[in-house]
Amino acid sequence: MAIENIWIIDSLSGICIFDWYSRQKDKTIDEQLVSGLLIAFKNFSSEAGLVDISAIEGIDKKLAYKSDDRFIIAGICHLKDFEQLIDKTLLDLLDKFRKKYKKLIDDQMTTDVSPFRTFEEDIIERLEGTTSDRNFVTLSTGVITSLCVAAVVFVSYFFAIGPLQDLASEGVGNLIGLIIIIIGMLLGGFFGGLVAGDRKLGMISGSISVLPVIVLMTVFFNGDWQGSGTFFYVLVFALMYLLLFGAMAILGGLLGGFIKESKYFLPSPESDDELEEEE
Q: What's the domain range around 38? A: 5-127
The pLDDT, as a whole number, for residue 88 is 94
Q: Would 165 be classed as within a structural domain?
A: yes
Q: Would 253 be classed as within a structural domain?
A: yes
Residue where a domain stops, chosen among 75, 109, 127:
127
Q: Would 269 be classed as within a structural domain?
A: no
Based on the domain organization, do 104 and 144 belong to the same domain? Answer: no
Based on the domain organization, do 38 and 95 belong to the same domain? Answer: yes
The pLDDT, as a whole number, for residue 258 is 95
Which has more pLDDT, 141 or 230?
Answer: 141
Sheet holding 15-21, edge to edge: 15-21, 5-10, 71-78, 61-67, 55-57
Tell me the pLDDT tens digit for each residue of 18-48.
999 887 666 778 888 888 888 888 777 777 6
Q: Would 270 be classed as within a structural domain?
A: no
Q: Would 92 be classed as within a structural domain?
A: yes
Residue where a domain stops, chosen among 127, 149, 181:
127
Query: Percent of the chain scored above 90 by pLDDT?
Result: 37
Residue 209 has pLDDT above 60, yes or no: yes
Which has more pLDDT, 11 or 219?
Answer: 11
Based on the domain organization, do 50 and 105 belong to the same domain? Answer: yes
The mean of the pLDDT values for the chain is 81
The pLDDT, as a whole number, for residue 183 is 86
Based on the domain organization, do 10 and 75 belong to the same domain? Answer: yes
> What is the rounded distance in angstroms from the CA atom of residue 190 to the CA atom of residue 196?
10
Domain total for the chain?
A: 2
The pLDDT, as a whole number, for residue 223 is 57
Residue 229 has pLDDT above 80, yes or no: no
Based on the domain organization, do 81 and 113 belong to the same domain? Answer: yes
Work out whether strand 61-67 and strand 71-78 pair parallel, antiparallel, or are unpaired: antiparallel
Which has more pLDDT, 19 or 154?
Answer: 19
Residue 276 has pLDDT above 50, yes or no: no
Based on the domain organization, do 122 and 140 belong to the same domain? Answer: no
Based on the domain organization, do 187 and 71 belong to the same domain? Answer: no
Based on the domain organization, do 154 and 109 belong to the same domain? Answer: no
Which sign, positive or negative, has the C-alpha torsion 36, 39, 41, 43?
negative
